[in-house]
Structure 1
């Protein structure tokens, strides 16, 4: 909330309520999908649900009513668990979408406030500035140097200048402010706006799947096909041996159910959505889910200087006047020449300032100039910020016909069009060098004389008198040194890309211990390089100064051509193309323009680069935990598949050791483990000291799958050993089944604990803060104990009570079949770099 300087009161709270009741909210209403029915349809059509339904039907037809009821109940239970997981993901994403809804500034009760765009009402006084997306249609009542890009409506990319006194005095929803500032009275909202009328007829665009999501879907599809093939093979073998149709189908369905890794897609959706929600709670808004995948792979981060490395608190610290050729601290007594410099610099600023430097100039003018003439002069012409480096010129007149033509901008820009001698130029350049080396941001100020009203087309056509230099100081953020060290420790290179000059940027870079501050390249020099030279330079140089939008974009593309995964911070209109081109576009939440936020895939709410370190850590954590979950799913599915298939294929004494009922029990144990326990795992302590993960890595390459496959095979060996041991001891089928089931449950529990880290020991991971591990493990042990001790449950599952020796052997085999991986971890920690 802030006071406004526009003498516009806006609506009162009572008028806002009245307008909202009468005309509604600023929303465009599209046809919405019923999420419940959509979710129900997805669950009903899932392969596992179909298999359960078929198995349940066969049990009912065969007269095994209790088994049929159990499987029907299992369908409902799995549907509830699946719905809960999806609801968690959907709610997290809905909250994220609500949080990322665009905001706008309005004047109400005489005060400028920020509200969500949907809260706008008819008659509101909307304040828009450079880089804002216009939230509704309105009629301009005040403007400064105001132009709008209306390409979304007209297809014309050129900015249109608008003013209340011109025919073009209307702004439209969805268009972008190209320059300046305006206040408009809202004339249409929601579906009544020009864009709303077009948008209401459009259907919702379908979101594209991310690369990892496609890989997961492809893997599950392949496993589904494999399950179908195995189903037919097993059904054929059983039917050939028994000639019993329904019995053969049930046994084939058992194996098909064991093959399907239906937990993987649910785990992926849960991890991504909840990960994004947790990041939002930490001050990081993730706009695109694919960003979560990419974060852990970032190898380079390109940052702006002003407001990212520095505090963006511009204060006028020193001034240099050409006439006296001396530099003075603000706060000292100022001479007449120095006061003239302050006055001209204020006239070169917007009458109602919104830029931090212009606000500082108005404040110094009010403090240092005895006679305030701002109310006596009116701006009659202006030249917006333009050129390389940029400059701007304002022309003011009073009623007596006195005229002020004032300009400010980059020192090179003002020097190029000023009438100065070689000696004066040398003095100015020496002052610029001295101030820049101290870390000040430099602006030059000039004034011109011009008779008549036929002003030049370009401001550069005036002949300016060089008045002096303004030295602004924007101190580095207090935490920026430690932030840089965190990036370097994580193996991420940092590059500064700024519009400021080389000396100022190098000075600030040196203060914050930035690696590579000694060498830099300018935008002009960079644009002259060939593609090959550019790729080499962007690899070696870390400081880029006097950069223009096209130069920034070339840097990003060259880094991408070097196979870097690029993160880029930005806040201005001109940062849009580079933000969009980067793998991870990062907009600033406070000082970022709406254009920058729309182009970015991630927003730092408080403009704090330290949050980007947290974002990279979160990305690495989410990916690592998802990898653990998927590896767990694959590892535990392998022994289930082989335990069902091998006795049948090899004609062992008890060929059908498990039925669909046993597989469902195991599925219900596995599901919560992978998608609840692992999602809640904290980041491992070495995660931010490892090199970035290559973006091309996939869970489903041989390298990634080998550990899971080996773990699964060893558990299979342990399970089948107990099977054969039981047969060798002469135990009956029920004892054998019970012991084999207990081996798998034990292996499941210990695999959960072992796979919490593929590097640190189980004794280290047991100290990790994740209460869900012990909750889920405790529930699993409790349910298993019930199944193996309560007689009705024993009868239902075709189990029997085991003696202590049998329990000990089964549990021991389950533990040993998993615990061996601790030896691999010891080898990794001692003989191999992490």
Structure 2
């Protein structure tokens, strides 16, 4: 296929198509009224290629599978498997390698799902197109479209390529998936300025968008990868997914731990052979035991379980997690970039204000449910005292082509134009239902809304048999048709300045405006014509309509702000609307809004500064959204992006956590995202952030619990080596301790509920290490305490004449007993557990301790376990010594937490993550 290039004539590249008049477009493309000939089609197919989106280059399945093993967590597990294989513990080796393979397979499947985002965009292309070729209408495979083709559009069609409209009749196109515009866009054939945003290019129809009303003819100006949809597809293909903060921390942690383990092993080997004079063979087994004790082989498994439990909890909060690491990443976000329509708002147009002559009424209730009061100056009113308001509402119900109904789930829905639906809901709140109004005032004829006329008109007959003409439309257009206005005192001369002032005031609040007018008259002829509605009308009211913010979203934004998370609105909607909604939500209050056109003019440095300072961005294209996410990430932020359209897909993929809408989101958005909101509600994101923070807390608790076990074991081995004693723990016993403590005790921490005040913390710094200085101190402290207990008992028993098997058994039980007590300590990093909730609040921890006790009794007394591990039975006195070793760890750890709380360090340490 030859390389694509923009359609051109005589070697000259045309300016942007939306800036050209229809005649200029026809001239540039060599248009003929009968369409292209077969010869022209074949020549252009050769030049421009088929109207398809090329599939991206993908790694083969074997390479994708192999790359899943390139993961520090899996390296740790494979190292542990190698150690167990050297020790001849083949069952342990098999279990560890099985976990490695399962983790790799999960990653392989998830990566395959991620690639389907590009397939979802290609599926948006229309499969067929109605064209005019060789003077005949014919339906063709949309892949065969070429620049210059005449395409005919009708209601219900999906636009098959980027078109420049050359004639249009009542055309309205749903472009929300591409531009974020919440309402269908009225199209015309007019040219616009070169810098007009995508949503304001009214003379263009873009591939993948949906015709919801009217008819049109357009000339193809771009196909395949050259379309706006194709550019998004290319952008998505080139965007690299970000690795999560947790995986970056685990990677750093794993590398440091591996270096520390290898360095410690080498040091011990050299000290033993050169200083203590031990044989290399004996020292090698000692180092193997040390390495076995230090490797946290339980970490990957516990991490997976903890994340999986977080997935389940998030699902109950309506957040469906598609990629496991996103669970924790949500808890670490510092900035949430949210789309407006349907996420922060209800995506249900609602009348909030009705302006009559002399009165401004506020309307309560949101959405399509017909529930709400009418108020004047803050007081709820009786509509019967305001006939002008009643007449205006009635006009909005009658001069209307939409319908309002309730489904089996008691949910209200609008069929037709959302703005007209809002007028029907207004009428229902006032007790004027559509069916009753139409029955009493039957419609005789109507003039449908046309963009060039900017109004709709209808002819009705009232119960007394008199004819009425009703109109609704753009305020400035209706003011030209009106000479009078209806007030509380009846009809009076029109005050145009009043209506213009009120229109400006209402629009400044982000409300879309409609005007309503009436005239007691009949059409001059049998049919209602434009000459019947040219003048003589009485202005009834201005209606202010908006897609209102969700009440729960307002609370969720406030909760995010309290948690130290910045919330930014990035929308394709108009700036005035975005600012007004943002102010109601508490986003960007007192700050300017920045448009996509302004973003396009900024360099990367300026954009980074503006991205941090400004919270509302309007008329943003896919490129603008992607640049904003990248700018925030370049500033060191952990970014979550929400969206529902194809235009959001590149930014969703680039963000640290992409969040798509489940109900009204496109498949492309869902496939590019990490999390899908089942209820399309921003409040669910705030709940998911809470769960994500709880997951990270639990992972930290597990690591703080696990590392002292490994550290204590390592210190026991080192102490024995330095003192020239036999091994207090054999390699097999070390693996037994790790299996028991990680497999039973550590697992209980994955079930810990979120701590109080978790959403009042600041987000942890994005570059923070998994182990802070405080964590290292706690690990060393508890490791030393465990070493004192276990090694102290081992030496004590040997000096008392106890056999090596019994002494080792006491050392093993001392380590495990200390871990059982320390598990209770670890339920809270800073808070005391010396209360009913702390001691008994996690039933999984109590169950794990019970299982661990049973396992240790079997380890100590079961003959086959004694033969396998070299253990021996203990007396009650010896068990009391073991219990004392565990209490030593518990009491000192609680004392340390008390000191930290009393000195105020707990709050500062929590803020640092």
TM-score per shorter chain, which class? 0.5 to 0.7
1:506 Cα deviation from its structure 2 partner: 4.8
Within the alignment, does 1:798 sit opposite 2:860 as a pair?
A: no
Cα distance change of structure 1 residues 502 and 182 upon mapping to structure 2, 3 Å threshold: closer
| SS of residue matched to 1:627 | helix
Q: Aligned residue for 1:212?
A: 246
Query: Which among 42, 45, 48 is matched to residue 80 of structure 2?
Result: 48
**Structure 2 partner of 1:134:** 123
Name which of structure 1's ranges 265-274 and 659-668 shifts more when overlaid on structure 2.
Answer: 265-274
Note the 1:248-327 alignment, pairs <5 A.
249-303=284-338, 306-316=341-351
Quote the offset at 1:545 in angstroms.
Answer: 7.7
Matched residues in 2 for 1:714 and 1:590: separation? 54
1:525 Cα shift? 11
2:677 match: 604
Counterpart in the other structure of 2:779: 708
Contact (CA 8 Å) 2:641, 2:659: kept in 1 or not? yes
Per-residue deviation, 1:607: 1.9
- Counterpart in the other structure of 1:21: none
**Which residue of 2 is the match for residue 633 of structure 1?**
706
Take 1:575 and 1:408, find their aligned partners in 2: how far apart are those partners? 32
Rate the CA distance shift 1:53–1:683 in 2: closer, same or farther, 3 A: same
CA shift in 2, pair 1:89/1:509, >3 Å: farther
CA–CA distance in 2 between the matches of 1:484 and 1:44? 40
The question of whether the paired residues in 2 share the 8 Å contact of 1:314 and 1:356 is answered with yes
Alpha-carbon distance in 1 for matches of 2:594, 2:888? 63
- Would the alpha carbon gap of residues 407 and 32 (structure 1) be closer, same or farther in structure 2, given more than 3 Å must change? farther
Matched, 1:72 2:134: no
Q: 2:241, 2:145 → 1: CA distance?
A: 24
Question: Do 1:682 and 1:768's aligned partners in 2 also have CA atoms closer than 8 Å?
Answer: no
SS at match of 1:603: strand
Mapped partners of 1:588, 1:667: distance in 2: 43
Equivalent residue for 1:356, pick from 418, 426, 435: 418
Name the SS for the 1:296 alignment partner: helix
**Counterpart contact for 2:127–2:160, Cα < 8 Å:** yes
Query: Could you report, residue by residue, the CA deviation over 1:619-671 in whole angstroms, capped at 9, with x for unpaired residues?
Result: 101111111122222221111112123312x242x332222211121121132
Contact 1:787 1:793 in 2 (8 A): yes
What is the CA-CA distance between 1:361 and the residue it aligns to?
Answer: 6.0
- RMSD over aligned Cα, in angstroms? 5.8
The corresponding residue for 1:114 is: none
2:687 corresponds in structure 1 to 614
Q: Which residue of 2 aligns with 1:26?
A: none
SS in structure 1 opposite 2:834? helix
Corresponding position: 1:720 with 2:791: yes
Displacement of 1:307 after TM fit?
3.5
TM-score (norm 2): 0.61
Counterpart position of 2:849: 777
> Structure 1 594/466 Cα, relative in aligned 2: closer, same or farther at 3 Å?
farther
**1:358-387, Cα deviation, whole Å (9 max, x unpaired):** 54468989856742657x97x9x979xxxx
Contact 2:663-2:678 at 8 Å conserved across structures? yes
* CA drift at 1:313: 2.9
1:491 maps to 564
Question: Contact 2:510 / 2:546 at 8 angstroms: preserved in 1?
Answer: yes
Work out which of the residue numbers 198, 203, 209 in structure 2 matches 1:179.
Answer: 209
- Shift of the 306–427 alpha-carbon distance from structure 1 to 2, 3 Å rule, reads farther
Is the Cα contact below 8 Å between 2:68 and 2:104 reproduced in 1?
no
Secondary structure of 1:471 counterpart: strand
The 3-state SS of whatever aligns with 2:127 is strand
* Alpha-carbon distance in structure 2 between the residues aligned to 1:171 and 1:141: 12
- Structure 2 residue aligned with 1:687: 758
The structure-2 alpha-carbon separation of the partners of 1:508 and 1:524, relative to structure 1 and needing over 3 Å to count, comes to closer
Secondary structure of 2:332's partner?
coil
1:805, distance to aligned residue in structure 2 (A): 2.9
Q: Do the aligned partners of residues 665 and 599 (structure 1) sit closer, same or farther apart at CA in structure 2, a change above 3 Å counting?
A: closer
Measured in 2, the distance between the counterparts of 1:156 and 1:54 equals 66
Partner in structure 2 of residue 61 of structure 1: none
- Check whether the contact 2:293–2:710 (CA below 8 A) recurs between aligned residues: yes
Q: Matched residues in 2 for 1:768 and 1:491: separation?
A: 32
Structure 1 residues 708 and 787: CA distance shift in structure 2, 3 A: same
Structure-1 residue corresponding to 2:879: 807
Shift, 1:537, TM fit: 6.9
Please show how residues 722-737 of structure 1 align to structure 2 within 5 Å: 722-737=793-808
CA contact (8 A) 1:92 1:274 kept: no
Contact 2:510 2:579 in 1 (8 A): yes
CA pair 134-164 structure 1, distance change in 2 beyond 3 A? farther
Q: Distance in 2 between matches of 1:657 and 1:624?
A: 34
Equivalent residue number for residue 66 of structure 1: none
SS in structure 2 of the partner of residue 46 of structure 1:
helix
Shift of 1:690: 1.5
Structure 2 CA distance for partners of 1:761 and 1:526, relative to 1, 3 Å: farther
2:806–2:874 contact (8 Å) kept in structure 1 = yes
Shift, 1:295, TM fit: 1.9
TM-score (norm 1): 0.66
Written as runs of structure 1 = structure 2, the 5 A alignment for 1:327-366 is 356-360=418-422
Contact 2:158 2:209 in 1 (8 A): no
**Map of 2:768 onto structure 1:** 697
Partner secondary structure for residue 472 of structure 1: strand
Instruction: Kindly report which structure 2 residues correspond to 1:141-156, keeping only aligned pairs within 5 A, or say none.
Output: none
**Does the 8 A contact of 1:715 with 1:747 survive in 2?**
yes
Name the counterpart of 1:821: 893
The answer on 1:163 being equivalent to 2:149 is no
Q: For residues 560 and 31 of structure 1, what CA distance do their matches in structure 2 show? A: 30
Q: Say if 1:502 and 1:545, in contact at 8 Å, map to a contact too.
A: no
User: Is the 8 Å Cα contact of residues 646 and 666 (structure 2) preserved in structure 1?
Assistant: yes
How far is 1:96 from its partner? 12
Shift of the alpha carbon at 1:822? 0.8
Secondary structure at the counterpart of residue 491 of structure 1: coil
CA-to-partner distance for each residue in 1:581-627, whole Å, 9 max, x for gaps? Answer: 65444333223344544554433210222211211111101111111
| Structure 1 unaligned spans of 5+ | 1-28, 57-70, 104-116, 119-131, 143-151, 184-193, 384-391, 397-405, 447-464
CA contact (8 A) 1:266 1:675 kept: no
Distance in 2 separating the partners of 1:92 and 1:356:
43
Within a 5 Å distance, the mapping from 1:406-425 to structure 2 comes to: none
Within 2, Cα distance between the matches of 1:493 and 1:796? 57
1:656/1:138 CA distance change after superposition, 3 Å: same
| Cα deviation digits, residues 498-557 of structure 1 (max 9, x gap) | 6466599658945x7x4874x242445993997888777766666x48654477677666
Provide the secondary structure at the position in 2 that maps to 1:762: coil
Secondary structure in structure 2 of the residue aligned to 1:722: helix
Checking the alignment, whether the CA contact within 8 Å between 2:337 and 2:570 is kept in structure 1 is yes
Shift in CA distance, 408/556, structure 1 to aligned 2, threshold 3 Å: farther
Whether the 8 Å contact between 2:242 and 2:655 is mirrored in structure 1 is no
- Look up the SS of the partner of 1:763 in the other structure: coil
Matches within 5 A, 1:661-680: 661-673=732-744, 676-680=747-751
Q: Which moved more, 1:42-51 or 1:699-708?
A: 42-51
Shift of 1:718: 2.9
Distance 1:534 1:38 in 2: 35
CA contact (8 A) 1:346 1:358 kept: yes
Structure 2 vs 1, CA of residues 234 and 481 (structure 1 numbering), >3 Å: closer, same or farther? Answer: closer
